[in-house]
Chains A and B, each alone.
Chain A
């Protein structure tokens, strides 16, 4: 158990409204990631963070922003939700090995978001 929680677990919202998803970890890991999962696409990276206030874009970042003001929390915001953002969102963490390399990630339980 990597000590990752996501909230809310389910959300239905209307097109055009802002939405914020929260990822919380208890293990003080430096690296955190947001993915979306869609049928036929596997998981695609939205944004990631390598420390407090240090974030960067992933493969599918358009329409999303992130913030990390504390080590334990990584927030994903949809500024104006669209139907194409209906998806399951996963947060993940990683921690450097003894050599400093990053390898596997550990995932939270996911948030199912429906935009109507």
Chain B
């Protein structure tokens, strides 16, 4: 069965520093990959997604993620973080042959941006 591992539960970083949040999944079969962001006391918001095509995908607020099939990874990066990026980030995978839309989530990584 598919599984998703987010290697860091918490990532503290200073404002304007670069950051990488790591995500690995277990199966190398055809997958769809997602990053979601959750701000305190809110629901999850879709940050970016990989469905097919270019392995580098970008969000509107400066995050990017790269699909690496050989390493079964989908790490999230941002070259310069802001205080407002403080949130919990979830990686999710779908390898859904039955087309039920089910997603498998990682455990989450809390990004703490310090001034």
Contacts of A45 in B (CB 8 A): 102-103
**With an 8 A cutoff between CB atoms, is B78 at the interface?**
no
Instruction: Indicate if the CB atoms of A108 and B43 lie closer than 8 Å.
Output: yes
With an 8 Å Cβ cutoff, the count of chain A residues facing the other chain is 27
Task: Give me 9 A-to-B residue pairs in the complex whose CB atoms sit less than 8 angstroms apart, sorted by A's number.
Answer: A33-B102, A44-B105, A48-B100, A58-B102, A92-B44, A94-B101, A102-B94, A102-B101, A104-B49
Contacts of A102 in B (CB 8 A): 94, 96, 99-101
**With an 8 A cutoff between CB atoms, is A31 at the interface?**
yes
Chain A interface SS verdict (over half): strand
With an 8 Å Cβ cutoff, the count of chain B residues facing the other chain is 26
Contacts of B108 in A (CB 8 A): 42
Contacts of A33 in B (CB 8 A): 101-102
**With an 8 A cutoff between CB atoms, is B32 at the interface?**
yes
Binding site for B on A (CB under 8 A): 4, 31, 33, 40-45, 48, 50, 56, 58, 90, 92, 94, 100-110
Contact code string B78-115 (vs A, CB < 8 Å = 1, else 0): 00000000000010101010011111011110000000
Instruction: Indicate if the CB atoms of B105 and A43 lie closer than 8 Å.
Output: yes
- Among B6, B9, B46, B49, which residue has the most Cβ atoms of chain A within 10 A? B46
Nearest CB on A from B74, distance (A): 14
Contacts of B105 in A (CB 8 A): 42-44
State whether A106 and B46 are in contact (beta carbons under 8 Å apart), knowing that A40-B107, A42-B90 are contacts in the complex: yes
State whether A48 and B44 are in contact (beta carbons under 8 Å apart), knowing that A40-B9, A42-B108, A104-B34 are contacts in the complex: no
Nearest CB on A from B39, distance (A): 11
A26 vs B58: C-alpha distance when bound (angstroms): 29
Contacts of A56 in B (CB 8 A): 100
A58 vs B32: C-alpha distance when bound (angstroms): 19
Closest residue of A by beta carbon distance from B43: A107
Closest residue of A by beta carbon distance from B51: A103
**With an 8 A cutoff between CB atoms, is B42 at the interface?**
yes
A90 vs B92: C-alpha distance when bound (angstroms): 15
Nearest CB on B from A49, distance (A): 10
Instruction: Indicate if the CB atoms of A104 and B46 lie closer than 8 Å.
Output: yes
